[in-house]
Amino acid sequence: MSSASPENDSADDSVTARVRIDAAPEVVFPYLIDPSLMVRWIGEWAELDPVPGGVFALNIESAVARGTFLVVEAPHRVVFNWGSPGSETMPPGSTTVEITLTADGDATLLELVHRGLPVEEVKPHIHGWTTFLGQLRDLTWARL
Amino acid sequence: MSASAAASDEATDAVLRALADPQRRRILRLVGSNELAAGQIASHFEVTQQAVSHHLQVLQKAGLLQERRDGTRRLYAFDPEALSPVRAVLAEFWPTALDRLKQVVEHDQRKRPKI
């Protein structure tokens, strides 16, 4: 059972997830921008240059995410785009992930919104998106 | 888990299993914009017609292909509606990742010396 709550909004084709972490935003934030801390919760290799325009690169088993940092406001907000090399529907940088950290007493409420998922526009460009989903399937199933 | 949630999980799994094969993704690209007969699809592949038929069957069961009879021919077209449930993969992906983030941060936090 997951304690992070997913939400789907079919209207704007985004995915939102939230989690409460028993640590201050200042403690949580480095895990979003420091490669050695990031790979402890997502992926196994990361190259991150956390400044606007800086590289965001993450390998998650067979899936690869490539993009750019857009907003880095320690310790409350980070926005990066990502996509998959070789994908026509989700090329590097084509979808956007926004993470906001809000202090709640001694804890942090983290909200993640992944926007621009090309589920509805998949038909003319089925290749890249289905490849990416195939990759995601492998890693999601491997971990659940 | 409710019966409908279990059914939806099965449907999503069928779609993702169908998509996990490169030849089946190639078939979907072929019929992505044009309805094609089984023979026309098979002509794009080196493998046996039987193997192609199997792939067509898997794609059809997953709802990714709609079959239409035209006389003796069976025509196949891609049905993008079938992809909608796969959003669930991403809807599961992030909460799973964020739960790991929570565990890692809270684990490290407990090891920090109290100031």
Catalogue the E-assigned strands of chain A.
5-9, 14-21, 45-48, 55-60, 63-73, 77-82, 95-104, 107-115
Percent of chain A beyond pLDDT 70? Answer: 66
**A6 vs B contacts (CB less than 8 Å):** 91-92, 94-95
Question: Over the stretch A116-144, which tens digit does the pLDDT of each residue have?
Answer: 765 544 333 344 445 555 555 554 444 43
Domain ranges of chain B: 3-83
Residue in chain A lying closest to B26 (CA): A127
Mean pLDDT of chain A: 76
> Residues of chain B whose pLDDT is less than 50?
1
Residue A6 is predicted with a pLDDT of 46
User: Does residue A4 have a pLDDT over 90?
Assistant: no
pTM: 0.64
Domains detected in chain A: 5-143 (3.30.530.20)
Place of tokens 């310790």: A75
ipTM field: 0.78
Place of tokens 């196949």: B76
From the CA of A52, how many Å to the nearest CA of chain B? Answer: 23
Return d(Cα B5, Cα B28) in angstroms, integer. Answer: 27
CATH number for domain B3-83, candidates 3.40.50.800, 1.10.10.10, 1.20.1200.10, 3.40.50.2000: 1.10.10.10
Question: Over the stretch A18-56, which tens digit does the pLDDT of each residue have?
Answer: 999 999 999 999 999 999 999 999 888 999 999 999 999
Neighbouring residues of A41: CB distance < 8 A, sequence distance ≥ 6: A31, B97, B98, B100, B101, B103, B104
Q: Which residues of B92-109 are buried (b: 16+ CB within 10 A; e: fewer)?
A: bbbbbbbbbbbebbeeee
